[in-house]
Amino acid sequence: MGFKSPKDTTCSVDNIGCNKIEMAFGPLLTLGFLAGAFIAFGGLLAVIVGGGVPGLRVDNPGLQKFIFGAVFPVGLILVVVAGAELFTGNTACCIPAVLSKKASWGGLARNWTVSYVGNFIGSIFVVFFLTYLTGLLATDPWLGTINGIAEAKVSQGFWALFFKGVGCNWLVCLSVWLAIASDDVVSKVLGIWFPIMAFVAIGFEHSIANMFFIPSGIMYGASVTWAQFFTVNLIPVTLGNIVGGGLFVGAIYWYVYARQNG
């Protein structure tokens, strides 16, 4: 199982970021839709499996959190291996290209905006058509689980959510980094699985995953409004995700390994 050195990985990300920023609007939005749907699949699976053991949540909450986190990574595995444009991963992957002056800040903003909108559309598609209309979460313990998740995510303060967003995307982008460093699919899957499992089990906040969890709760009757979803949760979590991925992964690794080429 071959793998790239940290320096070679950063150079690869530099080239990947250029391609992402130069991608045409249509493909970028379409791949953003797929990424949102893939992350929603992971969220749905986590609720079905991790939320299906309410007794375990009471008696052994750490194990229940691990089970929830252990199945969620399927979403990012699909994004990376099958190919899609995930806003949170792009916060790190596009930064080296811009700092190396191979791409513009305007192009970066365009990539982040279009991928974010595409992610939202893909997430809501899975929420409405594949989760709500199918009634998959309409009965307990899944109904109580999704409502509890949604309500908990809007019951925290701005800074708590912001820093949970930082921690989340630091780990998410490290998983992308490990996948890029790997030269075969098995290694990519393992590189993705551990950091993603970790952020979910810890309880950090992922903006795109929350586009599945909170709207699902809203549609199933949680005491959450759409305004709360956007203003209370999504804004601070998104800002935290940008810092976690853009600064602590993309910018730092560029500074250490690629700055002399910039």
In the chain, where are the structural domains located? Answer: 6-261
Q: What is the pLDDT of residue 60?
A: 94
Query: What is the distance between the alpha carbons of residues 82 and 77, in angstroms, rounded to a whole number?
Result: 8
What are the φ and ψ backbone dihedral angles of 91, each rounded to 5 degrees? -60, -30
pLDDT digits (tens, 9 = 90+) for 24-37: 999 999 999 999 99
pLDDT of 261 > 70? The answer is no
Query: What is the distance between the alpha carbons of residues 99 and 48, in angstroms, rounded to a whole number?
Result: 42
Q: Which CATH class is domain 6-261?
A: mainly alpha
Claim: this prediction has a pTM higher than 0.85: yes
pLDDT digits (tens, 9 = 90+) for 129-187: 999 999 999 999 999 999 999 999 999 999 999 999 999 999 999 999 999 999 999 99
* Mean pLDDT calculated for residue range 61-74: 97
Q: What is the pLDDT of residue 58?
A: 86
pLDDT of 262 > 80? The answer is no
Q: What is the pLDDT of residue 90?
A: 98
Q: Taking the alpha carbons of 153, 64, 133, 87 in that order, is the dihedral positive or negative?
A: positive
Query: What is the distance between the alpha carbons of residues 145 and 150, in angstroms, rounded to a whole number?
Result: 9
Q: What is the pLDDT of residue 57?
A: 83
